[in-house]
Amino acid sequence: MNNGQADYISVEIIDDLWVQDRIADLIPDHGKIMHMYIISDTYEQLAHIHPTRTDDRNVFKAKMPPFDNGTYHIYMDITHETGFSHTMTNTFTYNTENTIYDPTILIVERDPDDSWMLNTIEDRITWKGNRPPYNAGDDIALHFKVSNNGKPLVLEPYINMGGHAALLKKDRSVFVHLHPIGTISMASQEMFQENYTQGVLDREDICFFGFADDSTGNYFNSNTSPNGEVNFPAIKLGTPGNYAIWVQVKSAGEVITQKFDFEVIL
């Protein structure tokens, strides 16, 4: 869709139970009502964006990233008031010459935390101990270090976390949105951990980089990782195939995104 100034992506939840208000409404996770990953069919381009909910509670809109024409797969994470979170998926074809013109679309400002990767030349992130191929069922350690010309970069929170990662099997049968605390959404975690709801920490103060000594006390004085390291929980992948993982961190106000390809065998 295009309003004469920019291309927009619009998604609508059409599930019957949702439309009939028989499913609990949504709550923000990391301060966002929806986290959307857009991944090109070639796996070369990725965006992590945050659509805005419109007056129609079923519809969400966001400015399109500056992507090439092509086929894209979208993965949309939402969290309900019950704490239940899940991922919706879809596929679309993007062609800047064939977008639907709709002058009634209100201008939606891009979320300041939106980020994207247009190529695979980034090399500032190192996957420590990466030794593919992995056997199905192996514990795959996800330890990463970020540096520039051999010097560690100081990492700062990105959307209230030390890092984000998106893992996708190349046949698209597996998608996981990872944080250093795991796959659970922060909103869900807060609902089940009383220390986050009784004044120990405000939501804006939480930031984990995945270190063994991570605790609430670490984040009152410094929300950074000075050694450039961020860790995610080890994962087990039970089905063989080719996978990609995109790791996202933030340093000096810049979101750094890097893709790693690996294989899982029997």
Q: What domains are there in the chain, each with its CATH number?
A: 1-119 (2.60.40), 120-266 (2.60.40.1220)
| 3-state secondary structure (DSSP) of residue 190 | helix
Q: What share of the chain is helix, strand, coil (3-state, %, to 5)?
A: 10, 45, 50
CB 160 within 8 A of CB 219: no
- Of 53, 44, 71, 40, the closest CA to residue 12 belongs to 53
CB 92 within 8 A of CB 40: no
CB 25 within 8 A of CB 80: yes
- pLDDT by residue for the chain (266 residues), tens digit each? 788 788 999 999 999 999 999 999 999 988 899 999 999 999 999 999 999 999 899 999 999 999 999 999 999 999 999 988 999 999 999 999 888 888 877 777 899 999 999 998 999 999 999 999 999 999 999 999 999 999 999 999 999 889 999 999 999 999 999 998 876 555 544 544 444 444 444 444 456 776 655 544 444 345 788 899 999 999 999 999 999 999 999 999 999 999 999 999 99
